[in-house]
Structure 1
Amino acid sequence: MTPEPASVCLGCWQNLHMPIPLRGPLSAPFRLFGIKPSRMNPNTCTICEMAFSKIMKARAVTIDATIMFADLRGYTALTQTIAQNGLTQLLDAFYDDCAAAIWRYDGILNKTIGDAVFAIFNFPVRREDHAVQALQAAREIQQSFGRRRAELARSIGAGDVEIGIGIGIDSGETNFGEFGQSHRDLTAVGTVVNRAARAQAVARSGEILVTKAVHDRTRGMVTADGSDHLLKGFDQPVTLFPA
């Protein structure tokens, strides 16, 4: 179940000390000026999407963040075998489970890319334990989707195609801001983003793979041994831990 939005924008309150109403009668005047809950996280607002004056002046800032990519396994195969309404039902379930968990743990759902989602933790809502928050969100995604996977597969007629979610997480310094000239995109870029994406690419269905940075920041939540992986775009092996 998707969490209820906060009464005021958490990002504006934390970063600008401004109580921007998101719900109720007090929010009406703000909506007239286009200030409303963000689509990235309903606990933040469209002011946060503009990334505040600091980012708008600098175009990009370096932040300490945790990045999560989650990909729906089996979707591509199913596009060849099931009807469009079944694909829509599957994607809706996937996006709903991801959004609910990401928002619950103060992340933003920065992008949906086909059958994958890209989430950022520690901006605009600051959390010292953002790596912990991201891992908790990832585990909740796997648990929520796992509970309904069998019924969903029957409902859409998946047959022998296994559906599930693979997740990759990395943590560290990344650039966040608006990028592009003809089409500006508010997002995060850098090595941490790339490494999280590549970790997701090698994760099996139902698996969460985290980097050593996440392993070290999550205070014993990850107990499995790591193994080295040759990830596309990285010259040296990257140690990943099942979480």
Structure 2
Amino acid sequence: MTPHRSAICKGCWQQMHVPIPLRGVLSVPFRVFGIRPSRMNPNTCTICELMFTRVMKARKVTIDATILFADLRSYTSLSQSLSAAEMGGLLDAFYDDCANAIWQFDGLLNKTIGDAVMAVFNFPIRQEDHARQAVLAAREIQRAFHARRAEFAGSSAASSDEGAAAEFGVGVGIHTGELSFGEFGRSHRDLTAIGTVVNTASRAQSAADAGQILVTQAVYDRARSELSDSTAKDYALKGFDAPVRLYAAQEALAFANE
């Protein structure tokens, strides 16, 4: 599903109450000065992306937000028998599907890291139910991949490596809470989020099987209406002294088992 395209930057409107045109005739003068839709979310603008310190009056801020990581499982194994064109097409499709799902629910596609993506919900577009929005985006990512799976399964990689193809899918991890968001680094500036919330979401994603969405207790508490049928299990996550309870969304598990 293609996300709705806003006429003005949602981030600038919420953060500064300034209507920055993103599309149409009124946006033309702004584009002359390099102000256009952001690559992280087309409903925000490059002011949000490139002028963070000037807008927020600080290099970094502490916010309540939700982090989503999604990773393409068995891509490394399958890529050994993929042609360069097939490999590029597969990643393009994965990135596009993730982006559309994240933008549909007002998230920020913050990073693409090899065969994985990282998204932030609740900045710069504010959402009271950002944990729930992240869960909905994760389900859309799984739905979109499942719809394409037959197409992917027909690749030369799938036919030549049945074991890898059986594990081919997307694993998703989500955590929510207080984190630091802003500009990090000086010689190479990076606009991103850091903190325990980010690390935990990443570890949850690593624990997820293909086709699975794993969320933390904090996400479950905030998005209980979307996770009423989820199943809980304690996981030994790398870097954590004690087991971490994660909840698996049942709808995603159904995709994995088909």
Q: TM-score range by the shorter chain?
A: over 0.9
Q: 1:9, 1:182 → 2: CA distance?
A: 28
- Please say if 1:168 is aligned against 2:173: yes
**1:1-243 superposed matches below 5 A:** 1-49=1-49, 50-51=51-52, 53=54, 55=56, 57-159=57-159, 160=162, 161-162=164-165, 163-222=168-227, 223-243=229-249
Note the aligned Cα RMSD (angstroms): 1.2
The 1:40/1:156 distance shift into structure 2, 3 A limit, reads farther
Q: 1:202 Cα shift?
A: 0.7
Give the SS at the match of 1:226: strand
Q: 1:225, 1:103 → 2: CA distance?
A: 27
Superposed CA deviations along residues 175-207 of structure 1, whole A, max 9, x for unmatched, are 001111221100000000000000000100000
Q: 2:6, 2:212 → 1: CA distance?
A: 31
Tell me the matched-pair count.
242
Superposed CA deviations along residues 6-60 of structure 1, whole A, max 9, x for unmatched, are 11001111111111000011001001111000000000000111226354x3211
For structure 1, the residue ranges without an aligned partner over 5 or more in a row are: none
Give the SS at the match of 2:202: helix
Misfit runs of 4+, over 6 Å: none
TM-score of the superposed pair, with normalisation by structure 2: 0.91
Q: 1:4 Cα shift?
A: 4.3
Question: Match for residue 252 of structure 2?
Answer: none
Contact 2:52 2:59 in 1 (8 A): no
Letter in 2 for 1:240: L
Superposed CA deviations along residues 142-191 of structure 1, whole A, max 9, x for unmatched, are 01110110122204542213221000000000000111122110000000
Give the SS at the match of 2:174: strand
Contact 1:164 1:205 in 2 (8 A): yes
Q: 2:154, 2:55 → 1: CA distance?
A: 50
Q: 1:74 Cα shift?
A: 1.5
**Identical counterparts, % of pairs:** 64
Contact 1:121 1:131 in 2 (8 A): yes
- Higher helix fraction: Structure 1 or Structure 2? 2
Q: 2:96, 2:221 → 1: CA distance?
A: 29
Letter in 2 for 1:193: V
